[in-house]
Structure 1
Amino acid sequence: MLPFGGFVDKLRFTADEEDYSRQHYCSWLILGDMPGCIISSSGVAVQVQVTLPEIQYADFDYLVVFGGRSAMATQGLAPRYRSILSAAVRQGVKLVSIDNACFLLAACGLLDGHKVAIHWRHEAEFRACYPRIETLANQIYCFDGDVISCSGGSSAIDLAVEILARACGRSKALKGLSDMLVDEARSSVHLLKSQNREMTAVPHLGHAIALMRTWMASNKTTTELSEMVGISRRQLDRLFVDFHHVTARQYWTEMKLQHAKWRLLNSSHSIATIADEIGIADTSYFGKLFSKRFGVPPATFRRNGLNE
């Protein structure tokens, strides 16, 4: 609901003078593949105004698709939406993928040859499903020809500003940000402070953690990591112990195992695939590592829906 609400509200402020909410400078409709309400994961119901089969795509510039909480469930909607989305593309409508909608568009074959901005939490999962599609987890949104993508969350507001600026001018696009209590529109390559707290205060540490996320599926060592950061392995370990009370290797292992844990609970991918996502080719070794950390084998953890 956050990206949906933020995106639509930004349209609302730009569409009219003051805060009257009339659709003068831009307009929109809430679409669905069937009439009624769509229930979000938070339980909030969104009313469908028009069903997709009734739409005349010539009347629209963009078709914005919002993904659900579960990437796999969103991807599973492809049989229902493939013909509808493909028809929009054939008629010159630009597709906008927000959050996990990239899984749906990829499953429909509509991201082939395109780059896609993706939420950092789902990058490894997306790469496992669609290894030939280039992902941009370090960007909050991306314009790539007739496909536009956004990683979700509040970045949907930034994407809306950029789309509106290109259509209505930057002055109208920026209108209402203060009403939304947003300081400024962020660029596509904005670096999240909340994700990289150490980057400013302790640059070497922040750089190392950012590389750990990027190299999640690699078999690179902490020695290679320290070389890339530009300090010795001993210095890197000292930084991690001072700030996180564990060595760099322990921190990286925990990051990978937490990712695997989340994937086991939120996807139907095989254990081997999930192990590969964190750079472990030996499933047996992954099982031992996981069991040591969480007390049960991965299969048991998934079957029982366990959580800490």
Structure 2
Amino acid sequence: MSGMRDTNIGDGWERQDGPRPSCAPERVEEAPGRSVRGGRRRHRIAVLALPGVPPFELGIPSRVFGSVADAEGRPLYDVTVCTADGAPVLSDAGFSVQPAAGSEALAAADTVIVPPTHAMPELGRGGPLPPAVTAAIAGIRPGTRLVSICTGSYVLAAAGLLDGRPATTHWNLAPEFRRAYPRVKVDEDVLFVDDGDVLTSAGVAAGVDLCLHMIRRDHGAAAANRAARMCVVPPWRDGGQAQYIDRPVPEPTVASTTATRAWALEHLGEPLTLTQLAEHARMSLRSFTRRFRDEVGMTPVQWLTAQRLELAKQLLETTDLPIDLVAHRAGFGSANSLRAHMRTAFGVSPAAYRRTFSPHDLAPAGP
């Protein structure tokens, strides 16, 4: 987008390069034990606590994944906190973390999550991991989903697991991370990066965003929304880290796009244009585009597309509406436009997404 073009989102298709919402449904069955509908065992998650781990980030996986249950109230995940050798580690809050297991939990896990550590400064210089941690990570089974929260990405990078792959970390440490691990494709503008079997998140609360994304990817938006409600957090946060990067605080008199974004969410099915949005915000087109990007971290076009994709996925999961009607209600104008956007964002068609995520009694027959 040129930034000044009056674009009606949904009438046509153009690839958006901003942060993408939700999941890649074609990967749902990659890791063992994920399926709800097949009656398989609970998905096993091992959280590796390292010396200097912040308690907040360490507790995110247990709290978020522990909020997920099936229709009968049965937990869908088993979460185990472990250390490399099974011994307690000292958190950065000054108290010890007593793990439930050692490295054997990593070897048995379907997903391994590495929270940050504040006790390994050598990793910021590209230094090696402690031998016990190296050995523990080496014991992880091939095909296990690997996840980092904040500077847990340093641990994955030091183990060579991010070489040649896209990843993120806290925006304030991105320059250091690039110097230490030049083979990693760092993107400090996003809240998290999903590269299939390796996922990384930005700082602190972005770990919550990533865990909810993984639930959505494993079990659909409805399960992620329930988990978000239990944790009293939004199921999806707009934008990326760009909105949190330190910058001059605007004067109180400077207008915001918040009200216009709320209005747009109520009119997603309508042919919204940049001109309409700017007029609603009572700004010039140039000022609105600049202010929107400063506040959200993406362009209005990218944001509208992301919101419409979220609405389309909800309709595909929770209704049996024809694809044409889903496209119309989500503001894409036509089924072809919706298919193009979904293939670009998620790699699947609306029909394939519905077969993967909707209850069997809602999914229509046919290709």
> Which TM-score bucket, shorter chain as reference?
0.5 to 0.7
Query: Who is 2:274 aligned against?
Result: none
TM-score by length of 1: 0.57
How much does 1:72 deviate?
2.0
Mapped pair 1:12 → 2:12: no
**Counterpart position of 1:86:** 138
Pairing 1:3–2:53 present = no
Instruction: Answer whether contact 1:4 1:156 (CA < 8 A) is retained.
Output: no
Deviation sequence 1:227-276 (CA, Å, 0-9, x none): xxxxxxxxxxxxxxxxxxxxxxxxxxxxxxxxxxxxxxxxxxxxxxxxxx
Asked whether the 8 Å contact 1:3–1:98 carries over to 2, the reply is yes
Q: Could you say what secondary structure the match of 1:14 adopts?
A: coil
Compute the displacement of 1:210 (Å): 12
**Count of residues in correspondence between the two structures:** 205
The equivalent position to 2:192 in structure 1, one of 117, 141, 144, is 141
Question: Match of 1:60?
Answer: 109
Which residue type is aligned with residue 60 of structure 2? G
- Whether the 8 Å CA contact 1:3–1:155 is kept in 2: the answer is no
Secondary structure, in 3 states, of the residue corresponding to 2:139? helix
Tell me the distance in 2 between the aligned counterparts of 1:56 and 1:105: 14
Distance 1:171 1:157 in 2: 16
Residue of structure 1 in register with 2:273 after alignment: none
> In the aligned structure 2, how far is the partner of 1:200 from the partner of 1:26?
44
**Closer/same/farther in 2, CA of residues 190 and 184 from structure 1, 3 Å limit:** farther
Aligned match of 1:276: none
1:29 corresponds in structure 2 to: 80
Secondary structure in 2 aligned to 1:64?
strand
For residues 207 and 81 of structure 2, the distance between their equivalents in structure 1, rounded to whole angstroms, comes to 16
The 5 A counterparts of 1:268-307 are none
> 1: distance between equivalents of 2:232 and 2:58?
17
Structure 2 match to 1:218: none
**Do the aligned partners of residues 11 and 184 (structure 1) sit closer, same or farther apart at CA in structure 2, a change above 3 Å counting?**
same
- Report SS of the residue matched to 1:34: coil
Whether the 8 Å contact between 2:157 and 2:181 is mirrored in structure 1 is yes
- Structure 1 spans left out of the alignment, 5+ residues: 212-308
Residue of structure 2 aligned with 1:97, choices 132, 140, 148: 148
Partner residue of 1:297?
A: none
Following superposition, the deviation at residue 31 of structure 1 comes to 1.2
Moved more, 120-129 or 99-108: 99-108
1:24–1:69 Cα change, 3 Å: same
Identify unmatched segments of 5+ residues in structure 2: 1-54, 257-286, 298-367
1:63-212 aligned at under 5 Å gives the runs 63-69=112-118, 72-73=121-122, 76-88=128-140, 90-186=141-237, 189=240, 191-192=242-243, 195=246, 198=250, 201=256
Instruction: Note closer, same or farther for the CA distance 1:3–1:27 as it changes in structure 2 (3 Å cut).
Output: same
Mapped to 1, the partners of 2:290 and 2:236 lie a distance apart of: 28
- Contact kept, 8 Å, 2:170 with 2:188, in 1: the verdict is yes
User: Equivalents in 1 of 2:106, 2:204: separation in Å?
Assistant: 29
Query: Is the 1:10–1:157 contact (alpha carbons within 8 Å) kept by the matching residues of 2?
Result: yes
Kindly tell me: are residues 16 and 208 of structure 1, through their superposed partners in 2, closer, same or farther at Cα, counting changes over 3 Å?
closer
C-alpha contact 2:212 2:228 (8 A) present in aligned 1: no
State the Cα deviation string for residues 12-54 of structure 1 (Å, max 9, x = none). Answer: 1114779xxx9721111111112332221112332211100x2
- For 1:62, the aligned partner's letter is T
Q: Letter of the aligned partner of 1:85 in structure 2?
A: I
8 A Cα contact 2:188 2:241, kept in partner = no
User: What amino acid maps onto 2:92 in structure 1?
Assistant: S
SS for the counterpart of 2:193 is: strand
1:215 corresponds to which residue?
none
User: Please, what TM-score do these two structures have when normalized by structure 2?
Assistant: 0.48
**Quick one: percent identity of the two aligned structures?**
23
Deviation at 1:103, TM superposition (A): 1.4
